[in-house]
Amino acid sequence: MGTKHQPPDRPVRVLLIDDDRDDYLLTRELLAEIPGGQFRLDHVPTYEEGLEAVCRGGHDVYLLDYRLGARTGLDLLREYQSRAARVPVIVLTGKGEYAIDREAMRAGAADYLEKAGLSPTLLERSIRYALQQHRHEAELEQKVRERTEALARANAALREEDRRKNDFIAMLAHELRNPLAPIRNAIEIMRLTGNDPAAVEQGRAMLERQVEQMVRLIDDLLDVSRITTGKLRVQLEPVSLGAVVEAAVEISRPAIEKAGLAFQVRLPDRPVLLRGDRVRLAQVFSNLLNNSAKYTPEGGIVSLTAEHVGAQVVVSVRDTGVGIPADVLPNVFDLFTQVDRTLNRSQGGLGIGLALVRRLVELHAGTVSVHSDGAGRGAEFTIRLPGEVYPAVG
């Protein structure tokens, strides 16, 4: 059963490189006999013109005569392969020889044809096959390139993750060691001044502060484990936005006041109901407030604003602090990412607060985003959660 010729969108552009004009005329006749005007033939007669033409491009396939004066078509093929983008090449010869055929294939030719046996059908089939193979090879090369690039990106991400984990371990060791010296000093003070109630009380207060600090560190470590293993859970129930914000402010106010910052809170006029975990939502907002307090110089401003927009509650925490560089913004919610450690980090902590914020917000079917105009220009974190206004009391 024969196949019908489907006219292409445009003719296939063919360049014949052959120093014999009679062969050129013969090739032109063969292509002209193929129905549908599917091919457009150009011709150059010399090795030099052929090499210049293939390097310049503009054709879909090259028909290359084996004999080109003192040089061979295989010489041109090898030079072309090293200098120009690949286009299918079919080698033509007046006499078939297995050694030349094998050499042509090794040099990168798509096919090898004897002029004496050429027919329109054979020539068309060879050109179509060469173009199909070229497309297949190009698609395969593109897939390999894409996979190689994806693998390189994955390896780079793994290296970056490994670097940040190493930084985290170093920071953890530092943070865990920090309370030990005060604890040791407090114990020594209490041992030496056991009969002095004031000194004992001073030592007890010091121990209490450092134990609280270590408890916070251990809680952070547990949260890291829950995030990385997917075991972080929330208990959803109706909860008042005002109650959650009040709990978060109670947790964060000491850090904000200690940093010497002005603090502003603005809530909706009417009560708003959330479906969430009261403790975890308070942790979300307090983490953001603590983050702002940590990275805002004395005299700056931290604000928390909440509003009801449609079916969502939008909570924004803004500060006038050190800001976030543009290259850090995409990764600011990743585990072990630190924006800036040059400021006083007397509050301690392991720098996982923002990663925990994102995960907890996601568990509440919400989203969190960050905006900063750059270093020294503050930052704004915005949380969107499902919520509704309480019915008005008549």
Q: For position 262, which CATH number holds?
A: 3.30.565.10
CB 328 within 8 Å of CB 289 = no
| Amino acid identity at 36 | G
How do the pLDDT tens digits run along the chain, 394 residues long?
Answer: 334 444 456 899 999 999 999 999 999 999 999 988 899 999 999 999 998 888 888 899 999 998 888 888 888 888 877 665 678 889 888 776 777 788 888 888 888 888 888 899 999 999 999 999 888 988 998 999 999 999 999 999 888 888 877 777 777 776 777 778 888 888 888 888 878 888 888 888 888 878 877 887 788 778 777 877 878 788 999 999 999 999 999 989 988 999 999 999 999 988 889 999 999 999 999 999 999 999 999 999 999 999 988 889 999 999 999 999 888 888 888 876 665 544 444 445 566 788 889 999 999 999 999 999 988 899 999 999 998 755 544 3
Q: How far apart are CA 130 and CA 128, in angstroms?
A: 5
Q: What share of the chain is helix, strand, coil (3-state, %, to 5)?
A: 50, 20, 30
Please give the pLDDT value at position 351.
64
CB 380 within 8 Å of CB 318 = yes
Please give the pLDDT value at position 1.
38
CB 90 within 8 Å of CB 109 = yes
Domain hosting residue 350, numbered range = 232-389
Q: Where are the beta strands (DSSP E) in the chain?
A: 12-17, 39-44, 61-65, 67-68, 71-72, 89-93, 111-114, 237-240, 262-266, 272-276, 301-309, 312-319, 367-371, 379-389
Same domain, 270 and 324: yes
Where does a domain end: 142, 169, 193? 142
CATH of the domain at 48: 3.40.50.2300
Where does a domain end: 200, 231, 262? 231
Same domain, 219 and 105: no
Same domain, 137 and 184: no
Please give the pLDDT value at position 346.
43
Please give the pLDDT value at position 79.
82
Same domain, 225 and 342: no
Question: pTM (2 decimals)?
Answer: 0.55
**Is residue 149 included in any domain, yes or no?**
no
Q: How far apart are CA 343 and CA 167, in angstroms?
A: 17
Q: How far apart are CA 51 and CA 44, in angstroms?
A: 10
Among 266, 285, 303, 306, residue whose Cα is nearest residue 378: 303
**Is residue 51 included in any domain, yes or no?**
yes
Same domain, 222 and 241: no
Please give the pLDDT value at position 337.
65
**Is residue 60 included in any domain, yes or no?**
yes
Same domain, 54 and 121: yes
Same domain, 101 and 115: yes
Q: Where are the beta strands (DSSP E) in 94-205?
A: 111-114
3-state class (DSSP) for residue 90: strand
Same domain, 245 and 213: no
- Please give the tally of structural domains in the chain: 3
Where does a domain end: 231, 258, 293? 231
Q: How far apart are CA 72 and CA 50, in angstroms?
A: 12
Same domain, 25 and 135: yes
Torsion region of 253: left, alpha or beta (phi above 0 gives left; psi -120 to 50 gives alpha) = alpha
Please give the pLDDT value at position 319.
96
Residue linked to tokens 């050694």: 99
Same domain, 309 and 193: no
Residue linked to tokens 């709990």: 247
Please give the pLDDT value at position 181.
81
**Is residue 182 included in any domain, yes or no?**
yes
Please give the pLDDT value at position 339.
55
**Is residue 101 included in any domain, yes or no?**
yes
Please give the pLDDT value at position 165.
78
Q: How far apart are CA 160 and CA 301, in angstroms?
A: 33
**Is residue 148 included in any domain, yes or no?**
no
Residue linked to tokens 């931290």: 302
| Amino acid identity at 304 | L
**Is residue 58 included in any domain, yes or no?**
yes
**Is residue 195 included in any domain, yes or no?**
yes
Same domain, 81 and 205: no
Same domain, 208 and 238: no
